[in-house]
Amino acid sequence: MRVLILGATRFAGGYLAAELVREGDEVWGTGRVAADGGTRSKSVEAGGQTVPLVACDVTDRGSVTAALEASRPDAVVLLAGLASVPAANRDPAAAYAVNAVGAANVLEQTLRYAADTRVLLVTSSEIYGEVLEGELPLTEESALRPNSIYAASKAAGDLAGRAFALAKGADVVRVRPFNHTGPGQKTDFVCPDFASQVAAIARGQKDPVMEVGNLDARRDFSDVRDIVRGYVAALKRGRSAEAYNLCAEKAIRIGDILNDLCRLAGVAPEVRTAEHRRRRAEVPAVWGSAAKARDELGWSPTTPWQQTLADLLASSMG
């Protein structure tokens, strides 16, 4: 199968490309558009193979069509998007343009390109939004009550996927990954942010002081390598119009992640709370149920969480 990954140069995109290559699939990707209308690079390495890159801006329907015509895929994975909650809050219009309108563009143009081309639409567990502990664990039938610009824009894209499947007959499968991390993730996210600060302290390049947000929040974390296996399983075995949670089915306290990283690095820094690192509308605890993915896709996470943290810290240490 030939798979086009929209957003192949992003964090999870590289892991997904490598996983598909291991599965024996032919992989194409899209990269950031350069000033000349091409990409900053023409290819990337994944799984020991060269993955060709084509330019694509998902907010531009013509650009999406050109990427489809260049790659001629059997399936499309939409990973391109604005993934940072703070960035979405700073520029709501951009968040909606990419995460909502971009999703609609990809769905529409793929349907026009070839009606039987499957689209895997990657959204986010953030779309569930405001959750009471009595409503946990979250299932795919849980209400969507987004409480951030990012979550609302991703919810719009998620609902567009369902609507295209039901109203237009598009072959669309949605996945809702919960928090995931691993080597290569930007420090916009809590785990690599902590790992980067801890590594700098361990190397003597930073005073032994950690700046943090809310350490009492609890979230459902997985390894990115497990999550992309879930993407592949959903792409190949998921039912059209359906959504699948991908999660570890347990909540980890953010403060415990910090403690584990400090222990692994052998440091004991002073910890200071910074108000600008706290979210305005933060849910105390979130975790999900992956029963549907387990039953229908045969997927479950296998990487021990301590191994994920060790690998993340090692990559931050350089």
**What is the distance between the alpha carbons of residues 216 and 219, in angstroms, rounded to a whole number?**
10
Average pLDDT in the 15-42 region?
81
pLDDT of residue 85: 85
Same domain, 98 and 173: yes
pLDDT tier at 41, thresholds 50, 70, 90: low
The sign of the dihedral angle between the CA atoms of 199, 248, 19, 127 is negative
The DSSP bridge partners found for residue 245 are 176
Average pLDDT, the chain: 94
**What is the distance between the alpha carbons of residues 2 and 21, in angstroms, rounded to a whole number?**
10
Tokens 């598909």: give the residue: 20
Structure tokens of 206?
């930073």
Same domain, 65 and 162: yes
Angle between helices 254-265 and 305-317 (to 10 degrees): 60
Question: Maximum Cα–Cα distance for the chain, whole Å?
Answer: 58
Structural domains counted in the chain: 2
Query: Would strands 43-46 and 49-55 be described as parallel, antiparallel, or unpaired?
Result: antiparallel
**What is the distance between the alpha carbons of residues 123 and 78, in angstroms, rounded to a whole number?**
9
Average pLDDT in the 192-211 region?
96
Single-letter code of the amino acid located at 198: V
Q: What is the pLDDT of residues 55-72, one digit of tens each?
A: 999 999 999 999 999 999
* Burial environment of residue 35 by CB neighbours within 10 A (0 to 12, 13 to 18, 19 or more): exposed
Same domain, 271 and 225: no
* Burial environment of residue 204 by CB neighbours within 10 A (0 to 12, 13 to 18, 19 or more): exposed
- Its domain, for residue 269, covers 190-217+251-286+306-317
Same domain, 194 and 130: no
Q: What is the pLDDT of residues 103-155, one digit of tens each?
A: 999 999 999 999 999 999 999 999 999 998 899 999 999 999 999 999 999 99
**Spatial contact of 125 and 247, defined as CB atoms under 8 Å apart:** yes
Same domain, 85 and 210: no
Domain of 201, CATH number, reads 3.90.25.10
Instruction: Compute φ and ψ for 170, nearest 5 degrees.
Output: -70, 150
Same domain, 204 and 115: no
Tokens 């930073």: give the residue: 206
> What is the DSSP code (8-state) at residue 239?
P
Among 142, 147, 148, 149, which Cα is nearest to 176's? 142
Same domain, 246 and 256: no
pLDDT of residue 253: 98
Radius of gyration of the chain (CA): 19
Same domain, 153 and 227: yes
Same domain, 199 and 170: no
**What is the distance between the alpha carbons of residues 115 and 308, in angstroms, rounded to a whole number?**
39
Single-letter code of the amino acid located at 279: R
Same domain, 144 and 197: no
Structure tokens of 36?
């000349």
pLDDT of residue 35: 44
Average pLDDT in the 11-38 region?
85
Same domain, 175 and 244: yes
Structure tokens of 131?
């959750």
Tell me what percent of the residues of the chain surpass a pLDDT of 70.
95
**What is the distance between the alpha carbons of residues 233 and 274, in angstroms, rounded to a whole number?**
40
Domain of 238, CATH number, reads 3.40.50.720
Whether 173 has a pLDDT exceeding 70, the answer reads: yes
Same domain, 258 and 299: no
Average pLDDT in the 27-36 region?
74
Average pLDDT in the 284-302 region?
97
> What is the DSSP code (8-state) at residue 145?
B
**What is the distance between the alpha carbons of residues 112 and 115, in angstroms, rounded to a whole number?**
6
Tokens 């993407």: give the residue: 231
pLDDT of residue 281: 67
**What is the distance between the alpha carbons of residues 100 and 143, in angstroms, rounded to a whole number?**
19
Among 305, 307, 303, 290, which Cα is nearest to 243's? 290
Task: Give the CB-side neighbour count of residue 60, counting CA atoms within 13 A.
Answer: 9
| pTM (predicted TM-score) | 0.95
